[in-house]
Amino acid sequence: MENTIRTLIADDEMYSRDELKHLLGSFPSIQVVGEAETGETAVIRALQLHPDVVFLDVEMPKMNGMEAARSLMELKKAPLIVFATAYPQFAAEAFRYEAVDYLLKPYDEVQLKDTIQRIEKHFLAPKEQEAGKMTGKLAVEGDGEIFYLDPKDILYISREEKFSKIITKSKEYETKTPLKDLESRLLPYSFFRIHKSYLVNLDYVTRLTPWFNGAYQLEIAGRDDMLSVSRNYVKALRAQLEL
């Protein structure tokens, strides 16, 4: 993966395109480069824009999603396909086209996050993952200085008003860099978004405690802090943590 994953959304309903575009906006790795109202237009846009991933509705006029997927697979640089539809009965057929996932409307944010992580792993080659784990430091600007932090020493990062607070084993740092940007830069490492305001290093998670309304609280090794885990992230978090 270079900087971002070029993404095309194909759906005949403008509301559905707008909703998915909004949800994808929370993922730093995703760049929506275009939209299409029909399967035929999706193929044309793919030829023009060279997307890495296409989110395809199944029921569309002129050329439906399955037909569009067949044409997309024949391209010299075939994009990954994610079907996004209100019709569960096409799921079995969808995977004949090597679909990455089959998302049902209304979209489940946790399932969407799982899908994006699967896409990210596809584009982040094993060598890049290993290189990211072995070398490189996170550059953090604050108080007129630049600090270089080893990602393995970072326990978690929180967003408070206009600053991101980076908590390491020995010190705390403040930077104006948005949490979304820090999440993108730490993608090769074992960091996980548990809340809109928290990004944690999974290597230091010691306990997950039920809280209320489906939410949880998370404990980090060596800290007394109790971090909030949004209920939308609980299932995906447990999948990452548990053997």
Q: Tens digit of pLDDT for each residue in 208-237?
A: 998 887 789 999 998 988 999 988 788 878
Distance CA 10, CA 40 (A): 10
User: In sequence order, which residues have a C-beta less than 8 Å from that of residue 36 and are 6 or more positions away?
Assistant: 8, 9, 10, 11, 42, 44, 45
How confident is the model over 139-150, as pLDDT tens digits?
Answer: 888 777 888 999
Distance CA 158, CA 227 (A): 9
**124 - beta bridge partners?**
none
Does the structure show a pLDDT above 60 at 51?
yes
Q: Which phi and psi (to 5°) does residue 149 adopt? A: -110, 140
Distance CA 62, CA 236 (A): 37
Does the structure show a pLDDT above 80 at 133?
no
What is the SS3 assignment for 127?
A: helix
Specify the length of the chain in residues: 243
Give residue limits of the domains in the chain. 5-124, 127-241
As assigned by CATH, the class of the 5-124 domain is alpha beta
Does the structure show a pLDDT above 80 at 65?
yes
Whether pTM exceeds 0.85: no
Distance CA 101, CA 63 (A): 20
How confident is the model over 198-208, as pLDDT tens digits?
Answer: 999 999 999 99
Q: Are strands 30-36 and 5-10 parallel, antiparallel or unpaired?
A: parallel
Q: CATH number of the domain at 127-241, please?
A: 2.40.50.1020
Distance CA 84, CA 91 (A): 10
Average pLDDT over residues 166-193: 87
Distance CA 168, CA 41 (A): 49
